[in-house]
Amino acid sequence: FDFCQAEGKKRPSENLGQVLFGERIEPSPYRFSFNKKETCKSVCTKTYDTTKPEDKQKLDFLKKSMLLNYQHHWIVDNMPVTWCYDVEDGQRFCNPGFPIGCYITEDGRPKDACVINSEFHDKDTFYIFNHVDIKIYYHVVENEALGARLVAAKLEPKSYKHTNPDNPDCSGVPMDISNKASGEVKIAYTYSVSFEEEKSIRWASRWDYILESMPHTHIQWFSIMNSLVIVLFLSGMVAMIMLRTLHKDIARYNQMDSTEDAQEEFGWKLVHGDIFRPPRKGMLLSVFLGSGTQILIMTFVTLFFACLGFLSPANRGALMTCAVVLWVLLGTPAGYVAARFYKSFGGEKWKTNVLLTSFLCPGIVFADFFIMNLILWGEGSSAAIPFGTLVAILALWFCISVPLTFIGAYFGFKKNAIEHPVRTNQIPRQIPEQSFYTKPLPGIVMGGILPFGCIFIQLFFILNSIWSHQMYYMFGFLFLVFIILVITCSEATILLCYFHLCAEDYHWQWRSFLTSGFTAVYFLIYAIHYFFSKLQITGTASTILYFGYTMIMVLIFFLFTG
């Protein structure tokens, strides 16, 4: 965008999480001194001659961004500068960004922010917010000689056509750019700043006014209740089945004295000689289990820290940094789990197993991420990751994560294989004809529904915070939902496994992984629905990026639930 640029100031440094999310902080040409009031100070003037192609291109880009309601995001002292306005039923909404401008359609309908001022009425016209009234609230620290602290920064976007750009007076008609306009367009950017003492806000709670204006919390409790009902229902079912059938069976076995009766086995008793037969593709399953364990522990620890308030929105990029670092350090459990399972499946190729554990899933994620980055780089986007960061991520992966995975695998292979309580028969048993709901596919498809039902309301807020720049701060809720999700996945899988074992189908290993792993497919369907219903994304690159990043999330979620 062709806005005023700051001359010769260095960019603030960013941490790994911010760079990965593409949050780049640029220095600003707006200069304030504390408690010094400024009115209508000029920043710069941009002139566009529409007869020149490069000027016309810049102006068209500006118009397009106003049409799509692009926003400025400004930061003062690590606080977002907010634009607060009244919404329905007397509430104030504080938006941590403000629009570049707005558009009045050809039939005179104001779009987006044009409703704030009745002077915006010319048809088929863009109005650019080229003036801001910034108000900075501070409180003076009484007991120490520290001076004052900023507790809030708010602004009002205004639009003025400055008749004399060198000596602006900030009054008069709004700055309109007609869609059909030709000739010279002059846009002068100005600002006013005032300071106001605010004794009631403490520095520690200065984010509250932004978070309070987000009307979400009542939906959250409703969704938690909804999830808890599902969990109770499932726990009840599992407990009933376990108690009723197992109790009945054990009682029956205890009553039997003679061996003739013991021949009449039924249901899952019939498959005891086949239940520990190694699964097909045992290598892949053990690798998935290793990576899944890594992701499970990472998610748990990250959310736990977030609950304690280490990763608040004030601490930019902390969440992502924490997750990446934890993931790198948790190579050992991944290697260990993969090795233990692979050994118990009777596998011999331990080198292949270790290499796959350290490279398969991270490799897929990295390849996807790298392709996305190439697209961003080709588009010239500021979200593209610099080469140095890519090298740093590769170094983390190869120099820390991989050796740790090898250490974990070493200990996993050194331990004795998991002892099975029953011997496996020489000859595999024939599986009888299955009814519709104990067949693999319907069972797997049914298994994903319940865990997804627990999370889909939270999912909406998480997708909003990733794609619509809304702050996500309800980590307490998220932690609760995470625990509920883990319980639901386990219980749904236990139930469905029990049903198909009763139907004498003993291939349970892959099915138990895929039953709850299928939640990720529902997640993908929901993300596609969200793309079409909530986001107005135009352009091929943006669409590819959305689905590329969604696929990374789906893969991680698949491994995690499985």
Q: What is the pLDDT of residues 92-133, one digit of tens each?
A: 888 889 999 999 999 988 888 888 888 888 889 999 999 999
CA pair distance 301, 319, nearest whole angstrom:
11
Best-predicted range by mean pLDDT among 108-112, 277-281, 415-419? 277-281
Task: Clarify whether residues 203 and 225 are in a common domain.
Answer: no
Task: Clarify whether residues 106 and 186 are in a common domain.
Answer: yes
Q: Would you state the structure tokens that stand for residue 543, as one six-digit string? A: 């669409």
Any domain includes 260: no
Task: Clarify whether residues 111 and 226 are in a common domain.
Answer: no
pLDDT attached to residue 537: 82
CA pair distance 527, 275, nearest whole angstrom:
37
* Residue 416 identity: N
Query: What is the average pLDDT value for the chain, to the nearest integer?
Result: 88
Which residues in 503-535 are b (16+ Cβ under 10 Å) and which e? Answer: bbbbbbbbbbbbbbbbbbbbbbebbeebbeeee
pLDDT over threshold 90, residue 82: yes
- For residue 464, how many other CB atoms are within 10 A of its CB? 18
Any domain includes 111: yes
For the chain, the domain total comes to 2
For the whole model, what pTM was predicted?
Answer: 0.88
Task: Clarify whether residues 225 and 170 are in a common domain.
Answer: no
- For residue 152, how many other CB atoms are within 10 A of its CB? 24
- For residue 129, how many other CB atoms are within 10 A of its CB? 24
Task: Clarify whether residues 163 and 227 are in a common domain.
Answer: no
pLDDT attached to residue 215: 59
CA pair distance 558, 288, nearest whole angstrom:
9
Any domain includes 369: no
Contact 190, 40 (CB under 8 A): yes
Task: Clarify whether residues 68 and 170 are in a common domain.
Answer: yes
pLDDT over threshold 70, residue 558: yes
Any domain includes 511: yes
* Residue 528 identity: I
Task: Clarify whether residues 227 and 202 are in a common domain.
Answer: no
State the residue for tokens 């290793």.
Answer: 290
Task: Clarify whether residues 225 and 90 are in a common domain.
Answer: no
Task: Clarify whether residues 143 and 271 are in a common domain.
Answer: no
Q: Which domain does 145 fall in, by range?
A: 31-210
Q: Would you state the structure tokens that stand for residue 61, as one six-digit string? A: 């880009």
Q: What is the DSSP string of 71-109?
A: EE--EETTEEPBEEEE-STT-EEEESSEESEEEE-TTS-
**Cα(first)–Cα(last) distance of the chain, in Å?**
45
Contact 293, 337 (CB under 8 A): yes
CA pair distance 257, 234, nearest whole angstrom:
36
CA pair distance 63, 125, nearest whole angstrom:
10
Task: Clarify whether residues 66 and 149 are in a common domain.
Answer: yes
CA pair distance 236, 242, nearest whole angstrom:
10
pLDDT more than 90, % of the chain: 46
Task: Clarify whether residues 60 and 140 are in a common domain.
Answer: yes
Q: Would you state the structure tokens that stand for residue 520, as one six-digit string? A: 């990720």
Mean pLDDT confidence for 267-277? 84
pLDDT band with cut points at 50, 70 and 90 for residue 264: low
Task: Clarify whether residues 195 and 270 are in a common domain.
Answer: no
Q: Would you state the structure tokens that stand for residue 233, as one six-digit string? A: 């229902």
pLDDT over threshold 80, residue 262: no
